[in-house]
């Protein structure tokens, strides 16, 4: 029985492992899987999306994001001076402000903020999200993702030194443990994994998310490697995201952040490394040998005047995916930035092409997740799909739909998305809730947390 049929003016299909564009097809879904890709409109489908000019492709997979801090620091992280940006943004503003919010918001308020962010990502075509957050937010995030119908890889943070801050000179202050494994936080992760992994019909998975190389000591990272092996789950971490992290790693371990990860045994096929902006070529060689994935989030770095070029990592032969990080929850404009930053960095218009960028958030991202049922449009694959309206004046004429999507389309062109064969966005609308009501509720919570940030002095330091 056909549960869903989508008319595709163009479709990005996968045949014998190769992606190619075909025209004028129907994508036929039965249950949670693609049953067929045909010329004929199927009879008796329970739901039909029948529009001209839809480009149907595998749902977009976004493997690094922080909904919570993204919303909290909107309008506060741009146009900072260089010195303030480098020293203050992550440790002086983002992390303490996020922690303050968590301490003062109820579980249901946290859930509103989670849904507010997930909704925006889904409206930009995201069907799978890996999201890292403070462990206390796991319940609200899993509840929001389950209601939204999103495929969700939850990454509750593990830290050796959770109470990061900056001193009056702008230097990072590491309080708490001296790099030892925090047994309580590992136990908490085990319990969250037991409770949530496999929930929502298997759409919710729990990953290991040690925060960063400068906040996680060797014992903790060795324990994480053990848990990844024991549970067969993925492990993701921030790596070389600023200069100070590299300096600290060399000082403490006489190794670069990547060498440090290799030394503790963290690197491997199941490791996803966010950023690597301040990694040198020998670090990238290490990543390549380990078959780990690099997660490239160019826009949050471009904001700070730092070039994080997709083309550099891709050109090095690394499995490279593109993700939104904690800045602007719109994967389509992130991909465009990835292309533009790469071309500028290489002074070469031929790098970071539209097909490579689409591949980064479909088949490459699915490979990073070790999921051969995701990231491809083919009979038997999971019916995680996005249908983008390429009929607008700003994209017409469409000579190649991937080119039109990457260089000209907007999130507002996303017409429908489906996860596990079920529509979660249709007519450009989020289906699990009322967008205006969610936004109004979230705005009131942001007002409350802004007042707390001002009275605590945290927000004053960002000026
Ligand atoms: Zn991040």
Q: What is the pLDDT of residues 120-164, one digit of tens each?
A: 999 999 999 999 999 999 999 999 999 999 999 999 999 886 555
The region that residue 80 occupies, defined by phi over 0 for left and psi between -120 and 50 for alpha, beta otherwise, is beta
The region that residue 124 occupies, defined by phi over 0 for left and psi between -120 and 50 for alpha, beta otherwise, is alpha
- Phi, then psi, of 426 in degrees rounded to 5: -150, 150
At 298 the pLDDT is 98
d(CA 69, ligand 1 centre) in Å: 10
d(CA 298, ligand 1 centre) in Å: 12
d(CA 237, ligand 1 centre) in Å: 8
d(CA 390, ligand 1 centre) in Å: 31
User: Under DSSP, is residue 336 helix (H, G, I), strand (E, B) or coil?
Assistant: helix
At 102 the pLDDT is 86
Task: State the residue for tokens 């001193």.
Answer: 167
d(CA 64, ligand 1 centre) in Å: 6
Q: Given a cut of 60, is residue 398 above it in pLDDT?
A: yes
d(CA 325, ligand 1 centre) in Å: 5
At 317 the pLDDT is 98
d(CA 8, ligand 1 centre) in Å: 35
At 175 the pLDDT is 53
d(CA 424, ligand 1 centre) in Å: 26
Q: Given a cut of 70, is residue 172 above it in pLDDT?
A: no
d(CA 2, ligand 1 centre) in Å: 40
d(CA 238, ligand 1 centre) in Å: 6
How many whole angstroms separate alpha carbon 290 and alpha carbon 303?
30
d(CA 25, ligand 1 centre) in Å: 38
Give me 53's structure tokens.
């000019």
Mean pLDDT of 415-438: 98
At 116 the pLDDT is 98
d(CA 456, ligand 1 centre) in Å: 24
CA neighbor of 219 nearest in space, from 268, 179, 172, 275: 179
d(CA 255, ligand 1 centre) in Å: 22
Q: Given a cut of 70, is residue 374 above it in pLDDT?
A: yes
Q: Given a cut of 90, is residue 426 above it in pLDDT?
A: yes
Strand 414-419 and strand 422-426: pairing? Answer: antiparallel
Instruction: Give the gyration radius of the chain's Cα atoms.
Output: 21
Q: Given a cut of 70, is residue 48 above it in pLDDT?
A: yes
Intervals of CATH 3.20.20.140 along the chain = 60-368
Angle formed by the axes of helices 183-196 and 218-231, to 10°? 20
The more confident residue out of 135 and 94 is: 135
Q: Given a cut of 50, is residue 49 above it in pLDDT?
A: yes
Give me 327's structure tokens.
């800045």
Give me 230's structure tokens.
């024991």
How many whole angstroms separate alpha carbon 427 and alpha carbon 414?
8
Give the pLDDT confidence of 1-22 residue by residue, as tens digits.
899 999 999 999 998 878 999 9
d(CA 371, ligand 1 centre) in Å: 22
Intervals of CATH 2.30.40.10 along the chain = 4-58+384-429
CA dihedral (184, 187, 189, 191) positive or negative: negative
CATH number of 4-58+384-429: 2.30.40.10
d(CA 65, ligand 1 centre) in Å: 6
User: Under DSSP, is residue 366 helix (H, G, I), strand (E, B) or coil?
Assistant: helix
d(CA 124, ligand 1 centre) in Å: 19
d(CA 66, ligand 1 centre) in Å: 6
d(CA 129, ligand 1 centre) in Å: 13
Region of poorest pLDDT, from 73-87, 204-218, 249-263, 307-321 = 73-87
d(CA 275, ligand 1 centre) in Å: 8
How many whole angstroms separate alpha carbon 117 and alpha carbon 101?
15
For domain 60-368, give the CATH superfamily: Metal-dependent hydrolases (3.20.20.140)
d(CA 241, ligand 1 centre) in Å: 9
- Alpha-helix runs per DSSP H in 291-429: 298-302, 310-315, 331-346, 354-360, 363-368, 401-407
d(CA 274, ligand 1 centre) in Å: 7
Q: Confidence class of residue 177 from pLDDT cuts 50, 70 and 90?
A: very low
d(CA 429, ligand 1 centre) in Å: 28
CA 47 and chain centroid, separation: 29
Q: Confidence class of residue 86 from pLDDT cuts 50, 70 and 90?
A: confident
d(CA 16, ligand 1 centre) in Å: 34
d(CA 10, ligand 1 centre) in Å: 34
At 460 the pLDDT is 75
User: Under DSSP, is residue 369 helix (H, G, I), strand (E, B) or coil?
Assistant: coil
DSSP, res 59: P
d(CA 448, ligand 1 centre) in Å: 24
Angle formed by the axes of helices 107-123 and 138-148, to 10°? 40
């Amino acid at each position: 029985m056909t549960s869903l049929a989508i008319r595709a003016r163009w479709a990005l299909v996968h045949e014998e492992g190769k992606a190619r564009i075909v025209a004028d097809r129907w994508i036929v879904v039965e249950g949670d899987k693609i049953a067929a890709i045909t010329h004929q409109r199927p009879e008796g489908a329970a739901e039909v999306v029948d529009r001209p000019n839809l480009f149907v492709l595998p749902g977009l997979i976004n493997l690094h994001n922080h909904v919570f801090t993204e919303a909290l620091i909107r309008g506060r992280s741009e146009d900072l001076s260089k010195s303030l940006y480098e020293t203050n943004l992550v440790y002086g503003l983002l992390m303490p402000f996020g922690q303050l919010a968590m301490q003062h918001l109820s579980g249901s308020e946290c859930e509103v903020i989670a849904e507010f962010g997930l909704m925006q990502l889904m409206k930009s075509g995201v069907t799978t999200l890996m999201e890292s957050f403070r462990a206390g937010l796991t319940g609200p995030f899993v509840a929001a993702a389950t209601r939204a119908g999103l495929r969700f890889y939850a990454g509750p943070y593990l830290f050796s030194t959770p109470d990061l801050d900056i001193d009056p000179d702008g230097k990072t202050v590491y309080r708490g443990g001296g790099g030892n494994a925090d047994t309580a936080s590992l136990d908490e992760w085990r319990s969250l994994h037991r409770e949530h992994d496999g929930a929502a019909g298997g759409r919710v998975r729990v990953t290991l998310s040690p925060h960063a190389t400068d906040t996680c000591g060797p014992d903790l990272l060795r324990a994480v490697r053990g848990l990844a092996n024991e549970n067969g789950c993925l492990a993701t971490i921030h790596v070389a995201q600023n200069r100070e992290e590299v300096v600290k790693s060399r000082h403490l371990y006489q190794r670069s952040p990547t060498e440090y990860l290799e030394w503790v045994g963290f690197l491997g096929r199941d490791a996803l490394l966010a950023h690597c902006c301040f990694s040198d070529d020998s670090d990238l060689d290490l990543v390549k040998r380990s078959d780990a994935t690099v997660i490239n989030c160019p826009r949050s770095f471009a904001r700070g005047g730092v070039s994080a070029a997709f083309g550099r990592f891709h050109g090095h032969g690394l499995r490279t995916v593109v993700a939104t990080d904690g800045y602007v929850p719109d994967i389509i404009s992130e991909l465009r930035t990835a292309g533009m930053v790469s071309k500028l960095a290489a002074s070469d218009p031929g790098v970071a092409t539209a097909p490579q960028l689409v591949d980064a958030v479909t088949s490459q991202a699915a490979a990073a997740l070790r999921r051969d049922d995701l990231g491809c449009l083919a009979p038997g694959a999971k019916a995680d799909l996005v249908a983008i309206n390429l009929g607008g004046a700003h994209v017409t004429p469409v000579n190649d739909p991937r080119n039109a999507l990457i260089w000209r389309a907007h999130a507002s062109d996303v017409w429908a998305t489906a996860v596990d064969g079920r529509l979660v966005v249709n007519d450009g609308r989020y289906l699990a809730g009322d967008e205006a009501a969610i936004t109004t509720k979230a705005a009131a919570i942001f007002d409350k947390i802004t007042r707390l940030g001002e009275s605590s002095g945290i927000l004053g330091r960002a000026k």
